[in-house]
Amino acid sequence: MLKHFFSFDVESAGILGVAFAVGWVVVNENGTELEDGYLACPLDPRVPAHDLQWVQEHVLPTLPVFQHDSPLPSYANCEGVIAMTGRFWDAWLEAKQKYADLVMVTDCPFPVEAKFLFGAVVARKLAMNDLPYPVIDVSSVLLAADRDPTGAYERKENEMPAHNPVHDARQSARLLIETLNTLCCRSAVSIPSPFDVDPETQTGTITYHDSGWFGVDTLSAETTTDALDTSESDDPFKK
């Protein structure tokens, strides 16, 4: 299993709009948070009115407040999206140097996070060898464990409120690790043949499966023989 995860989340004005905030956390395989980060730039005033209204009502109130003398809005610490993207990429590269096995993680990356990463590729003129690969999609991992890939899951205290990108990234990291552990536990449970008789001792085991758990009972040779016996009286299809 991988050892370190760089989970990030992007907020944009509209599902296809320009990004204006990004947050991330770095966690290890046990879910211990090692670092976090947040960047934001002023909203583009040209965004559609309904997208702007939604962001003003649901996202901006969740963002941190900075005290500065610049004309930047209180939630912003970058002058524009290019500067924000560049600082994000620098943070990723710095984390990658600290944790050699670090992989990038995000939830439902298309289109918001995918577009944001593509912007970094264009701005930095990155080659294939420079790209984060693979980028793990949390929703796909949830689906593999029979969990709703787009469900609204309960949040821990440090994952609230929603729509703060650091909080969202933190929840995504937790869900990923919990689900990976669930899948590992499932794969560790192996169910042998229902009747497994030891030829030396003539004793056997019956393994039964019940709601994901299994138990083993040791049987005597006589009991095992009875269990395997298919006499005419027991077989309704024999004539």
The 10s digit of each residue's pLDDT in 18-27 is 999 999 999 9
Residue 206 vs residue 161, higher pLDDT: 161
- Residue 199: band (very low, low, confident or very high) from pLDDT cuts 50, 70, 90: low
d(CA 14, CA 11): 9
- The string of pLDDT tens digits covering residues 73-110 is 999 999 999 999 999 999 999 999 999 899 999 999 99
Contact assessment for residue 8 and residue 105, using Cβ atoms and an 8 Å cutoff: yes
CATH 3.30.420.10 boundaries in the chain: 4-188
90-93, long-range: CB within 8 Å, 24+ apart, which pairs? Answer: 91/24, 91/37, 92/6, 92/24, 92/132
pTM score > 0.85 for this model?
no
Q: Which two tokens stand for residue 71?
A: 């004309």
- The architecture (CATH level 2) of 4-188 comes to 2-Layer Sandwich (3.30)
Question: Which tokens hold the place of 121?
Answer: 């590729």
pLDDT for the residue 186: 77
